[in-house]
Amino acid sequence: MTTDSDKILIDRARHNYMNVYTLQNVVLDRGEGVYLYGTDGKKYLDCAAGIAVLALGHGHRVFKHAVQTQMDKLAMCTGSFVTSEKVAVSDFLTQSAHMDRAFLCNSGAEAVEGALKTARLWAHHEKGAQCKEFITFKNAFHGRTYGAVSVTEKARTYPEFGPYIPGVHFAEYNNLDSVRPLLSDNVCAIIVETIQGEGGVLPGTPDFIVGLRQICDEHNICLIVDEIQTGIGRTGKMFCHQNYGIKPDIMTLAKGMGGGFPVGAFLAMEKFGKYIKPGTHGTTYGGNPLACAVTLAVSSEVAKPEFLAQVKETGACFMDGLKKLKSDTNSIEDIRGKGLMIGVDTVYDIKKLLPALLDTGLIATQAGDRSLRLTPPLIFTPDHVNEALDKIGHVIRKGDL
């Protein structure tokens, strides 16, 4: 129940904060493990995790220890100084991905900006000054800064923000035949999500993802794989592209790598990363010792084989339970995903389904036009899955949405 003080806070938020979100009628107060609590004390099972951010859930000992220890040591310094924390996390990320260079930043959008710049920089030197174009995909989402929105199709629905960066071509996801006509000597990179997150939690087919790698190899094009939402254990592998047996030329990361601390990164093979020189790119806060210490602690915990095995097992349990719910209720039309990144299409309006789930004590998010997105903390267990299934089943069986 929304209290009078909650209503005052929500009204104030509507008044003084930019109107970029449809605000929920809940004021959150604290989190613990896989649960969130409102100021009224109501308990919510968190199946959003800040949209695939809170890999270790709320208040995890590893996260807290890293923050507290590093805060007592060194939180910030200019990027021209070497710190053991930055070296350690760069080593960890590049070795985990079998890549060569890392750049630490503050968000996924910044990671995408750096990736696009790096691809153009490489192409300028290796393929000619005219080679500046990108191939991306319909329903993709790569962020909200200018380069990122330029390779995000739905940004084009806001012409008032134009002009976007030129030379961007949109192909159909999971359709290699739509990619080939867009190829030319002017294409420097293809950027793709292994699972389209905002596009509806749509996994790439093996033929599609492997085929893109082959196309890039054949035409000397840079393959940028966006793992911002899928990376750091979300699909049961450290990086989702490992499910397909391919390796990117450049990879973007964020969200889960900091477990709730704002951080992002892009990794590159030496062929591409070697063109980044002083003055071509940079950041004030990226790679600060505090962010690096937290990233190393969280990502190292996730990378443990037993942890990843648990994610895979729990994700399979969730999928099986949803499939049973589908056959029992006839209210679910489709279920997609890998690991603990799951999309569910129901017969109900998603704008009504999400508030109904919230009322019953489950927090989730929307993906695409109509999909329920389930991205719980990676510490979810089969018991938590059963609790989530009970809540989802309770709502969709009522049938009065």
Helix (H) or strand (E) holding 44: strand 43-46
Structure tokens at 105: 């930043």
Does any domain span residue 81?
yes
Residues 225, 231, 235, 240, CA torsion sign: positive
Phi-psi region of 322 (alpha: psi -120 to 50; beta: other; left: phi over 0): alpha
Helix (H) or strand (E) holding 224: strand 222-226
CATH number of the domain bearing residue 159: 3.40.640.10
Helices and strands (DSSP H and E) totals, the chain: 13, 17
Catalytic site positions: 141, 226, 255
313 shares a domain with 180: no
Please give the DSSP secondary-structure letter assigned to residue 58: B
Does any domain span residue 56?
yes
Does any domain span residue 119?
yes
Sort 199 into a burial class: Cβ within 10 Å, 0-12 / 13-18 / 19+.
buried
Does any domain span residue 375?
yes
Domain boundary among 303, 338, 362: 303
Residues 6+ apart with CB under 8 A from 322: 332, 335, 342, 344, 389, 392
Contact 210, 245 (CB under 8 A): yes
319 shares a domain with 295: no
309 shares a domain with 253: no
Please give the DSSP secondary-structure letter assigned to residue 243: G
CA of residue 382 relative to chain centroid, distance: 23
What's the pLDDT score for residue 195? 98
What's the pLDDT score for residue 60? 98
What's the pLDDT score for residue 154? 82
Low pLDDT (below 50) residues in the chain: none
259 shares a domain with 315: no
331 shares a domain with 253: no
328 shares a domain with 279: no
Contact 370, 340 (CB under 8 A): no
What domain range includes position 180? 74-303
160 shares a domain with 22: no
17 shares a domain with 108: no
Q: How many domains does the chain divide into?
A: 2
What's the pLDDT score for residue 155? 75
Residues 6+ apart with CB under 8 A from 42: 1, 26, 361
Does any domain span residue 66?
no
Q: Cis (ω within 30 of 0) for the bond into 305?
A: no
Domain boundary among 288, 303, 318: 303
Does any domain span residue 32?
yes
Helix then strand then coil, in percent of the chain rounded to 5, is: 45, 20, 35
Does any domain span residue 241?
yes
10 shares a domain with 141: no
Does any domain span residue 67?
no
Domain boundary among 253, 286, 303: 303
182 shares a domain with 204: yes
What's the pLDDT score for residue 1? 63
Global pTM reads: 0.97
30 shares a domain with 101: no
What's the pLDDT score for residue 281? 97
169 shares a domain with 45: no
CATH number of the domain bearing residue 30: 3.90.1150.10
